[in-house]
């Protein structure tokens, strides 16, 4: 049974009868389908958990970019409407907020279902509210000695202004009782701490770091009495214009992008996520300080950050892990081992077609590596959109430049949320002697092209 049928979502939340669909609402339909994958009983449990995490990270980016862009249009008084449905920017935002709220309920149900299933395999997501006795004492000791020294609790009053909340960083929001009434406080959850704290005993029982800090928040605030606490996360607008200043030929694009990335951390909030619920007083306070409307506040019963879904399996034994995931896909190398050593000659002699990721990308990586080392190769020219932090392709390009070959890299610095990584690689390429081009104003280069030039027999 799919969630859409159970909750009437597919029929009620989206108008499927229209010939033309609004771009944003259509995308939310797609993300709903991602979430529905988490309810497939034929899918291994960790894979289902990953789909909930993918749904969540997709929604994060949707708010940072699409909702951010629409919010800017409203603030700037942009009168342009959607050319498919005629909806104004504000009307699109209103409809987005309306249809997203039920998605959080679906995600919460999906998470609860998956966690319940994992318990049968010895993997237990433990809430602090259910821990007592010796385990609670052990966790308190861990909090006092290993976590509390890293916390920086903030009390918010006329002498202590509301602090800047980093994009998507979880915080513990509290209401504090004092002699003359109440005040509010915040504790940032340090991102450098391990999210998972495993408990002793049979199987793999763990609590989340934010749940532990939430439970012992009163210790962090000393003499203040905590009368309410919850976990929150703020999503900030991350949509910025990279084009306007680039018409000036004196602008250094790389420095320009670096300054924009710093600016991104300070852009206006577009969403507040709350784990569980809060009192009307705290909600009003947070909305006031973050300049948000209550329609921009969303409540979740699943953790606000599910990124641990992709690495929790490394703690399990092999037998348990294999039961909880799909078998690993091993790409096929279609080339006979006897001919793989000379990709340059193979590529020069005939056309070859590979289907990634079903077939291995090794032949292409070997081609570029051999070109970097071959004395007949004069130049390598390539377009790059994203690179891994440990990229074999990048290493080969650097080697080619160090071997005296002309290496030209069209590096797209505007690859969404990979800008910092690409800026770092662009610097390394230039230091190695590569010529780096940053693309064209008004366009993103998403193509994957590589040209190798050789000189043979004159």
User: What average pLDDT score do residues 245-273 get?
Assistant: 61
**Rounded average pLDDT over 15-38:** 84
**Chain centroid to CA 79: how far?**
32
Q: Are residues 157 and 273 in the same domain?
A: yes
* Coarse DSSP helix, strand, coil percentages of the chain, rounded to the nearest 5 percent: 45, 15, 35
Same domain flag for 280 and 144: yes
Q: Which residue has the tokens 């071997």?
A: 403
Render the burial of 377-390: b for 16+ CB within 10 Å, e for the rest: bebbbbbbbebeee
pLDDT-derived band of residue 238, with 50, 70 and 90 as boundaries? confident
**Gap between the Cα atoms of 9 and 2, Å rounded:** 10
pLDDT of 3 reads: 42
Assess whether 53 and 169 both reside in one domain: no
Looking at the domain assignment, is residue 248 inside a domain?
no
Specify the CATH number for the domain of residue 164: 3.30.1840.10
Hey, CA dihedral for 219, 224, 227, 232, is it positive or negative? negative
Whether residue 147 sits in one domain with residue 109: no
Spell out a b/e string for 328-360, using b for 16 or more CB atoms within 10 Å of the CB, else e. Answer: eeeeeeebeeeeeeebbebbeeeeeebeeeeeb
Mean local confidence (pLDDT), 397-418: 84
Q: What pLDDT is stored for residue 11 in this prediction? A: 41
Distance of CA 402 to the CA centre of its chain: 35
- The DSSP code for 404 is T
Using the structure block, give the residue that is written with the tokens 């603030």: 75
- The answer to whether the CB of 168 falls within 8 A of the CB of 235 is yes
Whether omega before 314 lies within 30 degrees of 0, making that bond cis, reads: no
Q: What is the total residue count of the chain?
A: 458
Q: What's the pLDDT tens digit per position in 408-421?
A: 998 876 656 556 66
pLDDT in tens, 308-334: 999 999 999 999 999 999 998 889 988
- Predicted confidence at residue 329, as pLDDT, reads 86
Same domain, 366 and 450: yes
Structural domain contains residue 61: yes
Tokens (6 digits) for 316: 């399990």
Do 288 and 144 have their domain in common?
yes
Q: Do 258 and 320 lie in a common domain?
A: no
CA distances from 22 to 82, 250, 271, 411 (A): 7, 39, 21, 32
Domain-embedded: residue 246: no
In a domain, 345, yes or no: yes
The reported pTM is 0.82
Look at residue 68 and tell me if it is in a domain.
Answer: yes
Same domain, 319 and 387: no
Q: Are residues 434 and 357 in the same domain?
A: yes
Q: What is the pLDDT of residue 80?
A: 74
The token pair at 123 is 């993997």
Between CA 425 and CA 430 the distance in angstroms is: 9
pLDDT in the model for residue 244: 47
Non-local CB neighbours of 30 within 8 Å, separated by 6+ positions: none
CA separation for the pair 167, 366 (Å, rounded): 40
- 331, part of any domain: no
Q: Are 269 and 290 in contact (CB under 8 A)?
A: yes
Going by DSSP bridges, is the β-strand pair 450-454/377-384 parallel, antiparallel, or unpaired?
A: antiparallel
Give catalytic status of residue 164 as yes or no.
Answer: no
Looking up residue 404, the CATH number of its domain turns out to be: 3.30.870.10
Looking at the structure, do residues 277 and 364 belong to the same domain, yes or no?
no
Nearest Cα to Cα of residue 401 among 367, 376, 422, 371: 371
Q: Give the residue-averaged pLDDT of 221-250.
A: 76
Could you tell me if 115 and 125 are in contact, meaning their C-beta atoms sit under 8 angstroms apart?
A: yes
- Say if CB 405 and CB 372 are below 8 A apart: yes
Domain CATH number, residue 108 = 1.20.58.310
For the stretch 61-101, pLDDT in tens is 999 989 988 988 888 777 778 877 888 889 999 999 999 99
Instruction: Give the structural domain span for 235.
Output: 133-239+253-292
CA distance 59 to 165: 19
Domain annotation covers residue 298: no
Answer whether residue 174 is part of any domain: yes
Query: Per-residue b/e over 175-206, b at no fewer than 16 CB within 10 Å?
Result: bbeeeeeebbbbbbbeeeeebebeeeeeebbb
CB atoms within 10 A of CB 32: 21
316 lies in the same domain as 361:
no
Report pLDDT for 257: 52
Q: Which run of H or of E encompasses 378?
A: strand 377-384
User: Based on the structure, what is the number of domains in the chain?
Assistant: 3
Could you tell me if 155 and 210 lie in one domain? yes
Six token digits for residue 358: 């079903």
C-alpha distances out from residue 54 to 25, 41, 99, 257, 348, Å? 18, 18, 18, 27, 41
Contact status, residue 25 vs residue 103, Cβ threshold 8 Å: no
- Average pLDDT value for residue range 103-107: 96
């Amino acid at each position: 049974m799919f969630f859409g049928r159970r909750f009437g979502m597919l029929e009620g939340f989206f108008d499927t009868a229209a010939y033309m669909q609004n771009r944003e609402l259509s995308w939310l339909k797609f993300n709903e389908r991602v979430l529905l994958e988490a309810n497939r009983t034929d899918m291994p449990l960790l894979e289902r958990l990953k789909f909930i995490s993918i749904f969540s990270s997709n929604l994060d980016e949707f708010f940072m970019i699409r909702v951010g862009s629409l919010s800017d249009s409203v603030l700037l008084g942009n009168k342009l409407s959607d050319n498919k449905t005629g909806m104004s920017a504000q009307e699109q935002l209103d409809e987005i907020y309306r249809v997203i709220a039920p998605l959080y309920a679906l995600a919460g149900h999906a998470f609860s279902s998956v966690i319940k299933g994992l318990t049968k395999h010895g993997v237990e997501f433990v809430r602090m509210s259910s821990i007592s006795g010796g385990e609670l004492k052990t966790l308190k000791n861990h909090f006092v000695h290993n976590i509390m020294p890293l916390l920086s609790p903030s009390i918010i009053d006329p002498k202590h202004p509301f602090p800047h909340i980093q994009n998507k960083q979880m915080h513990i929001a509290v209401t504090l009782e004092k002699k003359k009434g109440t005040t509010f406080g915040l504790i940032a959850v340090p991102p450098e701490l391990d999210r998972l704290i495993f408990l002793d005993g049979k199987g793999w029982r763990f609590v989340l770091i934010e749940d532990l800090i939430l439970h012992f928040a009163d210790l962090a605030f000393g003499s203040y009495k905590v009368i309410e606490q919850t976990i929150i996360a703020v999503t900030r607008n991350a949509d910025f214009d990279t084009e306007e200043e680039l018409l000036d030929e004196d602008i250094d694009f790389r420095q320009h992008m670096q300054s924009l990335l710093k600016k991104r951390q300070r852009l206006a909030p577009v969403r507040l996520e709350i784990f569980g619920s809060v009192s009307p007083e705290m909600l009003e306070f947070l909305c006031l300080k973050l300049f948000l409307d209550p329609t921009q506040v969303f409540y979740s019963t699943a953790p606000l950050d599910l990124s641990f879904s992709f690495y929790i399996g490394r703690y399990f034994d092999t037998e348990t892990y294999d039961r909880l995931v799909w078998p690993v896909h091993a790409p096929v190398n279609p080339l006979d081992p006897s001919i793989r050593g000379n990709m340059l000659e193979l590529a020069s002699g005939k056309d070859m077609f590979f289907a990634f990721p079903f077939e291995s990308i090794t032949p292409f990586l070997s081609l570029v590596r051999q070109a970097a080392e071959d004395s007949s190769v004069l130049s390598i020219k390539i377009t790059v959109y994203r690179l891994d932090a440990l990229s074999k392709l990048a290493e080969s390009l650097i080697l080619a430049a160090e071997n005296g070959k002309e290496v030209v890299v069209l590096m797209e610095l505007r690859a969404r949320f990979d800008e910092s990584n690409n800026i770092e690689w662009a610097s390394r390429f230039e230091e190695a002697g590569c010529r780096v081009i940053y693309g064209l104003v008004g366009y993103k280069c998403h193509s994957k092209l590589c040209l190798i030039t050789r000189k043979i027999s004159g």
